Structure formats: structure tokens, C-alpha cells
Structure 1
Amino acid sequence: MASRNSSQNGRAPQRRRGHERVATLLSAASDCFVAKGYDATTMTEIAAKAEASIGSLYQFFPTKEALAEALLHQHAEALYARMERLLAQTPGWTTEELATRLLRTFADYRRQQPAYVVLVEAAQTLPSMLGRTIRQRMRDYLCQILAIHAPDIAAGDLRPAATVVQQLMKSAVALHGEQPVALRQAAQTQLQRALTLYLHDLAGTRESTRTYA
């Protein structure tokens, strides 16, 4: 992945020292984006945070957009790794467990990685197609997970179903900031109920739905 850290004609690191320098620059950029936001952060501030020369920063990342893209690549790979683990564990989970895990995926990652939230918002104004690529890749994982959970689902229904699940996962993120806490918790419970029932419906099972009656 290190070879992708320097994009938009930036020089790719060749040696260990270069890889370490790039990692330091990316970490500094992440901290600055969280502290000031993407638009307000300058390349000069990022170089100062990394204790590097501005020339060294531009050598690897000619633009702030290149830095954002490199960081998004890192976060994308981390999200893919989480989805790989979900995919491997899906056969052993009940429908309720699968619903819980899916709803936590985006919300937990965004809470643990505040820079990702900033970058996702910035990605809407960046020319890169990376944001769309990440969404489609996540949807691919959901298709595989749903195919395991609901093996009899028609092939033509799989991707629309994955899209619905993806939107419900995003809803869990939106609810995270809902106030008061009691309302948020009640809404999260209702959202989990909705996803559980939907997954039951996809799998053509009804044995556990009585729990939610």
C-alpha cells in the first residue's frame, strides 16, 4: 500500500526511511485535518506538524488533494479488512448477531477514526473517484455476506438488497449524534429490529421474528 501513498505525480518512497517519512507526513496530515478541518488546513501546517520541510512534503504529495487521497486509501484498506473479517465470521452468526455487527461497522470505525469523517466529507468536493470506489467495494462485500446468509436469494435481488443494508448501516452512523441519549438508544434498537427483520425476510426464515412482535 505504501506505493499508493504518493499519488498525483508525487515521488513514491523507495527505501525504509522514505516509507517512514511518508507515514509521518500522513499522520501529521490526519491530525491537522481533525484539528482544523480539511479546507482550513494548509500544507505548511502539515509540514510543521511532521517536523519536515515543506519541500519534503511536496516531494511526496504535490497537493493537499493528493494527501487526502492517500489517507482515504489507508482508511479504505482498513474498512476492507473489517469487511473481510465479517465475511469470514458470517456463517457462524445468527441473524440478530449479523444485524448487530453490520450496524456497528461504520459507526464504530468513524468513532475510532475521526480523520476518516473529515476525509469522507472532503471527498464530496475532490475530483477523485475514490469515494465512489469505496462505496461500491463495500457493497460487493455486502453481496457476499448476504449470499452466505440468504443462499436462496435470487441473483438479481442480491445487489439491491446489499444497497438497502448499506443504507441502514449509514443510518446507524446518523443516529450516533442524536440527542437526547434515551431517544438515540431507542432509535438504535428500532433500527436493529428493522435490519434483523429484513435479513430474516431475505433468508426466508421467520422462526426468530416473534421476538420482535
Structure 2
Amino acid sequence: MSEEPKPRRRQARGERRIAQLLQAAANVFCANGYTAASTNAIAREAHVSPGTLYQYFPNKEAIAVELGGRLMHEMREAHGQAFTPENLALPLPELLDAVVDPLIEFNCANPAFLALMHGSEVPGRIAEEHDALHASLIDRVRLLISHYLPDSPPEECVRVADMTFAIFKSGLTLILAAPEGAERAAVIVELKRALLRYLDPVIGTGTCVGPGPHSALTTPRTP
């Protein structure tokens, strides 16, 4: 008889244990930051012994690299949902919903992303991958602005895109600091309103006269 099921079961158990350890690490990084976090704290959070943790990860850096890689993969998927050719045909309020919502939802669901990526003394590999991801997001915003301003000088598109991204980052900080529920939903509405008020006169499409009936500018949603 074949002995394949046993290795497969062991592999599945190992994957569940790794997921458990990574979630515990995410909680500890959020609570204490990367620098102050320790493998012992992560093991306690995961309700396992330090020896069990070391069976899967040799040190805190290895845990951070694995967690960071997975989070950045998910963030890239959020980018893919946000910046699509179909979204460019939407009126500006609906475009903001389509672009901003996946990015907000990712960050609200994964607070460890900012805690890890922006922490001090994070492993160099994570910092490099994050810088590349950040540059990719900025490029996508610039391409979106260029789509609406095809006759504008490149430096103007860069300036508008950089300002748009700065508004988004500032609003995201407030969103993550707000309590979940109605308060967070209200802050999301305010961020989209700020982006709308800035971009509408700059893009000048003439299609944006107000939020559509299904826009989150009129119907707050909680991530």
C-alpha cells in the first residue's frame, strides 16, 4: 500500500503550524514593533514552546522575512484589483472606490504590514522588497494620472501623482488609528472626499458632479 498520505498529513500540519506562528508574529510586531519583539514573545503568543518555534524558524529575522514576503504578495494582489483598465472608464467617485477600497481593506486586515515595513532595524531584504513595492504603487498612480492628463508635461503628472499618494498615506494613517466600525467608515469617507476635491479640478474630466448612488462617499462601508 502507498505511504503517501502520511507525508502529506505531516506537510499539512507543518503549514498550519507555520501559519499559526506567522499570525502570532504579526500580533507581536503590531503590539511591540519589530525591534522589541522576541522569539520567546512570539512563541508565547502562538501558545507553543520556543523549541517548537525553532523547528520552523531559526530566528526572528527569518520569521519577519517569511511574514513580510507573504504580506507583500497579498499587497500586490490588492494593487491588481485596484489598477485595472476597466476602472479608468469609471466616473471619478467610482474610480476612487475601485482604487482605494482594496488598498484600505488590505491595510486594515493586515496592520502588521505597516508595523513591519516601517519599523526600525527590519531585515534588509524586507526593506528592499518594500521599497520596490512602494515604487511600483507610485508608478501605477502616475500612469493613472497620465491617462487623464495626456497633454500635460511629465513633471506635472509626477507632481499630481505624488500629492495624491501623500493624501492617501496621510488618510490611511488616520483610518488605521480610528476604532473599527462607524468611526473608521467615516474617516474613509473623509479620505475619499479629500481625494475627490483635489483630483476633480486637476483631472478636469467634467464627469464628476458628485458621488454616485453606490459610491462609498455616500454609503460608508466598514472594512
Q: What TM-score do the two structures reach when normalised by structure 1?
A: 0.68
Structure 2 equivalent of residue 26 of structure 1:
22
* Larger displacement relative to structure 2 (165-174 or 154-163): 154-163
Alignment of 1:71-150 (within 5 A): 71-88=67-84, 89-122=86-119, 124-128=120-124, 129=127, 130-150=129-149
8 Å contact kept, 2:93–2:196: yes
Q: d(CA) in 2 for partners of 1:43 and 1:210?
A: 51
Structure 2 equivalent of residue 160 of structure 1:
159
For residues 37 and 127 of structure 1, do their structure 2 counterparts lie closer, same or farther at Cα, with a shift above 3 Å needed? closer
Q: d(CA) in 2 for partners of 1:77 and 1:127?
A: 17
- Using the TM superposition, give the Cα deviation of residue 191 of structure 1 relative to its aligned residue in structure 2, in angstroms: 4.4
Secondary structure of 1:172's partner?
helix
Aligned structure 1 segments of 4 or more residues deviating by more than 6 angstroms: none
Identical amino acids, percent of aligned pairs:
25
Structure 2 equivalent of residue 66 of structure 1:
62
Runs of 5+ in structure 1 lacking a partner? Answer: 1-14
Q: What TM-score do the two structures reach when normalised by structure 2?
A: 0.65
> CA offsets, 1:110-161, max 9 Å, x none?
3222322432342x43242233223212212323333444444444443333
For residues 47 and 175 of structure 1, do their structure 2 counterparts lie closer, same or farther at Cα, with a shift above 3 Å needed? closer
Secondary structure of 1:208's partner?
coil
Q: d(CA) in 2 for partners of 1:210 and 1:157?
A: 25
Structure 1 equivalent of residue 205 of structure 2:
205
8 Å contact kept, 1:139–1:163: yes
- Using the TM superposition, give the Cα deviation of residue 68 of structure 1 relative to its aligned residue in structure 2, in angstroms: 2.0
Structure 2 equivalent of residue 192 of structure 1:
192
| RMSD of Structure 2 on Structure 1 (CA) | 3.6
Q: d(CA) in 2 for partners of 1:135 and 1:191?
A: 20
Amino acid at match of 2:121: T
Amino acid at match of 2:196: T
For residues 200 and 65 of structure 1, do their structure 2 counterparts lie closer, same or farther at Cα, with a shift above 3 Å needed? same
Number of aligned positions between the proteins:
193
